[in-house]
Each structure stands twice: as structure tokens, then as C-alpha cells.
Amino acid sequence: MPTDYSQIHELAGDLFTLPKSAGEWDRYRLTDEQVTFFREQGYLAGIRILTDEQIEKLRGELTQFFDSQHDGRDLWYEYHTNESASPDTVLFHALGAWRLRPGFHDILWHPAFTVPASQLLEGAVRFWHDQLFCKPAKHGGVVAWHQDYSYWTRTQPMAHLTCWIGLDDSRKDNGCLHYVPKSHLWPLLPITGLAGDMHAIREVLSPEQWEQFQHPVAIELKAGEASFHHPQLVHGSFENKCDRPRRATVINVVRDGVSSQSDQPLLSGVPVVPPGQTLDGQFFPLLYQR
């Protein structure tokens, strides 16, 4: 039987290390200016998370997942070799890599991620779930405009945070993220689809929102860099038509104390967390608390 790393709530390998002093922890902290920018704009980009060695290790683990018969395939919450609306474009999308391989497990505890996440969440950091979004060269599919929390209302309060980490250089030509600044101040919008029509969101925007929507920001990142965004920030990414892949891992977390609001499993294969009970246990470990 393959190892289910969700049973391990500490580093399982040696790809990442934890600081040994307060000073070492503090070197990962965001500046006051960065935190203010996040509060005002709804995102923060260009934060270095991974070294070249760590990138290569994660790429190696990721390559195994593209083979649908890989070891541990029964541990995924979701696994889509192509979630695109068209067979001519490909969007590999999967949830649960942290359960399958030590690198994707241990990155959750990486202080370059957890320390900034704690600052932006204003509290202790608890795991929600991870995702992989991969667009192959020349025929990579879109991730349509959406707000993350539209899919997460089964948990409350809305004290969530997303960290998007590039495993390749992410540019306009290979389908980088685009954010609509300050859209985290909008109310929650209806779901219009995750991997299909980039224009569907137009149907649910007010005239004022549509005007603001005309000015998205392309989030171009080097491999190993990350962007953080608010759960209500509108974001999406276009097709990859160039000769380079665009691979990314995404870590979604909550502030400790967020609770279930559903009598159904919060993730496929995970035991029910009764409504009103806070997230904890095997599948929702505490990642950071200072």
C-alpha cells in the first residue's frame, strides 16, 4: 500500500527545513507595505517560495501524476487529466497531491509559505486543500474567471487564503494568472464555470463591476515565485499556446477556527465534519502557529 502522507503532520522528508530561532523565522515575514498592498488590492505577487532544487524535486513528483496509473492514485480528492471544456485544449487539475508524495506534502509546512500566510490571515494557519493546475505547451486550456470562495461556502467564516506557486516561469504567452484588483471588495458572484468560457462571467457582473473588470493585471512570475490572493478576488488564466508548459501548485488554507457548514463530506473521501465543528484532524492539520 502507498504511504498516505495525510497521516503525517510534520515534515516527512529533507527538501524543506524549519527555522531554529526567532530570527530565522522572521526573515520570511512580509513587510508592512506588502501586507497593506494585499489588504487594498486583494493580492500580493512575486514572493519567492522555492529554490531551484525544490522546484526540480516537485516537478519530478508531478511528472509521475500525469500517468493515470501512478502509485497512490486512489488517494486524490479529485483527479482530472483534462478538465477543459474542449478536448483540443488540456487543463490538468487535481486535488490532494499532499497525500501522495513527500515534496507536495512538506511544502505545506514550508516557512516561506506559512509565515506570510499567517500575516495575511491574521492568525494561525490551518490546511484546507491543495490543487495542481497544469497547462501543456501549445494546447493548454483556460481557467475561467471566478472567485475561490464561490466554491467554498461549505466552510465559514470566509477566512481563507490562496497561494499560487509556479513550477515554471509564468508569462502571458503560456497562460499566467490574471487578477482584477480590488474585486475582493465585491460581493460573492454566482459560479459560471471553472474550465470553460472566459466570457461567461460577463453575465453576472453589474455595469460598475464590468468597467472595473476591463483592467485585469497579468501576474507574471518566475519559477519558484508565488502570489497570494483573497478568496473573493476575481481571477483567471488564458490558454497556453506557446512552446513552454505552465505548471503550478496551489495551497489553500484557512485561519484556525473556520468551521464546516455542511452535512456532506467537505472533500471527496474525507469523513463528514458536522456543521458548526471547526476543521481539524487528519485532513485539516494545523500548519503554523506562533
pLDDT tens for 51-76 read 999 999 999 999 999 998 999 999 99
For residue range 251-262, what is the model confidence (pLDDT) as tens digits? Answer: 999 999 999 999
Average pLDDT over residues 6-33: 97
For residue range 165-187, what is the model confidence (pLDDT) as tens digits? Answer: 999 999 999 999 999 999 999 99
Q: Report the 10 Å Cβ neighbour count for 93.
A: 21
Q: What confidence score (pLDDT) does residue 203 get? A: 94
Q: What confidence score (pLDDT) does residue 195 get? A: 84
105-108 long-range Cβ contacts below 8 angstroms, 24+ apart = 105/5, 105/8, 105/12, 105/13, 106/11, 106/12, 106/13, 106/15, 106/16, 107/15, 107/16, 107/50, 107/54, 107/58, 107/165, 107/249, 107/251, 108/251, 108/285, 108/287
State how far the alpha carbon of 182 is from the alpha carbons of 115, 133, 145, 166, 186, in Å. 23, 24, 15, 23, 8
For residue range 269-279, what is the model confidence (pLDDT) as tens digits? Answer: 999 999 999 99
Reported as a pLDDT band with limits 50, 70 and 90, residue 86 is confident
Average pLDDT over residues 12-26: 96
What mean pLDDT is reported for the chain?
96
Q: 48-75 in b/e burial notation, b at 16+ Cβ within 10 A?
A: ebbeeebbebbeebbeebeeeebebeeb
Q: What confidence score (pLDDT) does residue 87 get? A: 83
State whether the Cα torsion 185-189-193-199 is positive or negative: negative
The answer, yes or no, to whether residue 2 has pLDDT greater than 90, is no
The answer, yes or no, to whether residue 85 has pLDDT greater than 80, is no
Reported as a pLDDT band with limits 50, 70 and 90, residue 194 is confident
Q: What confidence score (pLDDT) does residue 259 get? A: 98
Measured between alpha carbons, how far is 134 from 142 in angstroms, rounded to an integer? 10
Measured between alpha carbons, how far is 253 from 271 in angstroms, rounded to an integer? 19
- Only one residue has cell 500517468, namely 67
One-letter amino acid at 179 equals Y
For residue range 209-264, what is the model confidence (pLDDT) as tens digits? Answer: 999 999 999 999 999 999 999 999 999 999 999 999 999 999 999 999 999 999 99
Read off the C-alpha cell for 64: 509521475
Q: What confidence score (pLDDT) does residue 230 get? A: 98
Choose the CATH number for 42-68+77-281 among 2.60.120.260, 3.40.50.300, 2.60.120.620, 3.40.50.2300. Answer: 2.60.120.620
DSSP state of 131: E
Residue spans of the domains in the chain: they are 42-68+77-281
Given a contact cutoff of 8 angstroms between Cβ atoms, the answer to whether 58 and 240 are in contact is no
Three-class DSSP category at 137 = coil
Q: What confidence score (pLDDT) does residue 118 get? A: 98
The answer, yes or no, to whether residue 1 has pLDDT greater than 80, is no
Q: What confidence score (pLDDT) does residue 193 get? A: 87
Read off the C-alpha cell for 259: 468551521
Selection from 128, 133, 111 nearest residue 49 by Cα: 111
Given a contact cutoff of 8 angstroms between Cβ atoms, the answer to whether 195 and 233 are in contact is no
CA atoms lying within 13 Å on the CB side of residue 120: 32
